[in-house]
Amino acid sequence: MGNSANKSEIGEEIEFLCRAGQSCFTHGDYRQARKYYRRALSHHQHLPARTNDSNQVQLEIYLQIADTYIKECKHKKVNQVCQKISKIAQKLTDDLGLARILDRQGESKRLQGQFDLAIEDFGQSLKMKKEILQNEDNLEISTSYFLLGCLYYDQDAYDNALIMYQKALPIKLSKLGENHADVAEIYQKMGNVYFQQSKYDDALLMYQKKIDIGVEIFGEKHDSVAHSYYNIGLVYDNQSMYDKAISMYEKALSIQSERASENPLDIANSYHNIGIAYRHQGQYELALSMHQKALNIRLKLQECQHSNVAQLYHDMGDIHCRQFAYKEALSMFGKALKIRLKLYGENHLEVAHSYTSIGDIYRHQYNCDKAFFMYENSLKIQLKVNGDKLADVAQLYNNLGLVLSYQNRVDDALIMYNKALDIYLNLYTENHTIVGIVYQNMSNAYEKQQKDDEASMMRQKSFNIAKRLQQEDPNILPDALTEGPSPGTTELNHKVNTLFSTWIFAELWSYLGEYLR
C-alpha cells in the first residue's frame, strides 16, 4: 500500500509539473517550461517501478522539452533530445512516438533551411501516422498537415501551404474547439499566406480571428495579440494605408512595452516598421527617429552583426538619400554592406542590394566610375543567384545605362537599356510604368546621338504611358508632360517639361525599384 500511495503522489506531482510547463510554453516562457519539465523527469526517476506507461510519460516529457528548444532555435539540443527519446520509443515499440520524433527533427531542419531533409521527415511521419491511426480525424494527422504547410510556405509554395493549413484546421476545430491557441496559430499562418498572395481582405479576416482567440484565452495584453496587431499593420502598410498601419503598430508597441523584459526585439521590430510607414509618408525625421530607437535596442542586446541591424542601417541610408544627405547615406549603406558581407559572404542578394544602393548614391553624385563598379558588383551576384529574367536585373541594366549615358558612352548605354527593356517586356505589359521609364531614358540617349526620329519615337511611347498614368490619377503628371508641345508653348519650355518628366520617371523608378526589391 505504501508503494502504491507513493507512486500515486509522484504521478500527481509529475502531472502538475507538466501542466505548469505547458502553461509556460503557451505563454512563450520556454526556459521556465523546461525547468518544470526537468523537475517532472526528476520525479519520474523516483517511481518505484518502471512500466510501459511510465516510460510513455517519460517520452512525452522529452518531446515537450524538444519543443522548447525548437522554439528557441537551439537545433543541436533538439537533435540530442530526439536521439535520446528515439531509444525510448524503440524500446516501447512505439511507432507513433517515432513519427512524432520525426516531426521534431523535420521542424528543426525546416528552421535551418534544410527543406529537402525536412520534407523527408514530415512525409515519413505522415505516412506512419496514417498507417497506425487509420483515421484522418486525429490531432497527430493535423499536426503533420500543419508542419507541411509551414514548409511549403517557406518555399514560397503558397497554394500548397494553404491546402495543408485548410486540411489541418477542421481537425483542430473538431478536437479542440474555436478558442484554442493551436487554432489561432493556423489562422495566423493562413493570414500570412493570404498576405503573400496580396489577398488582403482575407488576411485581415484571419488575423482578426487570431486576435479574438488571443483576447479570449490570454487577455488583451498578450504577445499573441500584439503580434496580430503587428501583422494587420503590415497589411495596411502594403495597401499604402499608412495611418492605419501606424495605428496598428502602435497598438502592438503598447502591449510589447508593458512586457519589455520578455522580448525587447518585438519592440525593436515595431519601431522599425513604424519608421518604414513614416518614410512612405515622406515624414523622414520621424522615420529616422523610429529607426534609431529600433537600432539602439538591437545594439544594446549586442546584435551588432545581425541581419536586422544591417537592414536598419540600409533603411536609414535610404532616408538620408531621399533627403539628399549623400554623405550620411553612404555611411549607413557602408555599415549595412559590411555586416552583410560578414554574415553571407559575397554572393548573396542582400549584399547585391547594398551594392545597388551605394551605386545609386554615386550616380546621384555623378561619380560614374564608382557607380559603375557598384552596379557591376551587384549585377554579377544577381545573375549568379537569380539568372537574367528578374526585375532587379533589369533595374541594374537600366542604371548602368544611365551611368554610361552620363559618360557619353551612348552606344553602350543603349545596349544596357535594351537589355532592361527585354526583361521588362517579358515580365510586364507594354504599358507598364517601368517600361515607360526605359523608353524615356532611351529617348534621351538617342537625343545625344542626334537621332531625332528614334528619340521622338521613344519619347512618344513614354508620353503615352505617362498619359495613361494621368488618366488613372489626374494629379500624377501635369498635362504638358503627356501631350508634347502645346499651342503657344516654346520649344525651350517644352524641353524643361521633358526634363521634368524624366525627373518624375526617375522618382517613380526609385520607388518602384524599392518595391520590387
Q: How big is the chain, counted in residues?
A: 517
Cα 283 to Cα 461: distance, rounded to the nearest angstrom: 34
* 164-198 per-position pLDDT tens digit: 999 999 999 999 999 999 999 999 999 999 999 99
Q: What is the pLDDT of residue 488?
A: 36
Q: What is the pLDDT of residue 321?
A: 94
* 337-347 per-position pLDDT tens digit: 999 999 889 98
Taking the chain, what is the end-to-end CA distance rounded to the nearest angstrom? 71
Q: 491 pLDDT exceeds 50?
A: no
Q: What is the pLDDT of residue 262?
A: 63
Answer yes or no: are the C-beta atoms of 220 and 195 closer than 8 Å. Answer: no
Q: What is the pLDDT of residue 481?
A: 37
Range picked from 300-309, 428-437, 481-490 for highest mean pLDDT: 428-437
Q: Which grid coordinates are listed for 125? A: 511521419
Q: 507 pLDDT exceeds 80?
A: no
134 band by pLDDT with thresholds 50, 70 and 90 = confident
Q: What is the pLDDT of residue 276?
A: 94
Q: What is the pLDDT of residue 406?
A: 94
* 443-476 per-position pLDDT tens digit: 999 999 999 999 999 999 988 887 787 676 655 5
Q: Is 146 helix (H, G, I), strand (E, B) or coil?
A: helix
Q: Which grid coordinates are listed for 96? A: 507513433
Cα 291 to Cα 125: distance, rounded to the nearest angstrom: 44
Question: Across all residues in the chain, what is the average pLDDT?
Answer: 86
502 band by pLDDT with thresholds 50, 70 and 90 = very low
- Residues 272-311: b if buried by 16+ CB within 10 A, e if exposed: bbbbbbbbbeebbebbbebbebbbebbeeeeeeebebbbb
> How confident is the model over 390-403, as a mean pLDDT?
93
Q: What is the pLDDT of residue 261?
A: 54
Q: What is the pLDDT of residue 43?
A: 83
Q: What is the pLDDT of residue 482?
A: 34
Q: What is the pLDDT of residue 474?
A: 59
Cα 219 to Cα 174: distance, rounded to the nearest angstrom: 24
Axis-axis angle for helices 30-44, 52-71 (nearest 10): 160
Cα 499 to Cα 422: distance, rounded to the nearest angstrom: 25
509 band by pLDDT with thresholds 50, 70 and 90 = very low
Cα 323 to Cα 343: distance, rounded to the nearest angstrom: 29
For the range 217-222, what are the long-range contacts, defined as Cβ-Cβ under 8 Å and sequence gap of 24 or more?
Answer: 217/179, 217/180, 217/181, 217/184, 218/27, 220/255, 221/255, 221/258, 221/259, 222/27, 222/255
Q: 40 pLDDT exceeds 70?
A: yes
* 401-422 per-position pLDDT tens digit: 999 999 999 999 999 999 999 9
Share of the chain above pLDDT 70, in %: 87
Whole-model pTM: value is 0.72
Q: 224 pLDDT exceeds 80?
A: yes
Q: Is 199 left (phi over 0), alpha (psi -120 to 50) or beta?
A: beta
Q: What is the pLDDT of residue 432?
A: 86
CA angle 104, 109, 111 (to 5 degrees): 95
Q: Which grid coordinates are listed for 470? A: 494621368
Q: What is the pLDDT of residue 48?
A: 62
Answer yes or no: are the C-beta atoms of 42 and 7 closer than 8 Å. Answer: no
Q: 508 pLDDT exceeds 90?
A: no
Q: Is 94 left (phi over 0), alpha (psi -120 to 50) or beta?
A: beta
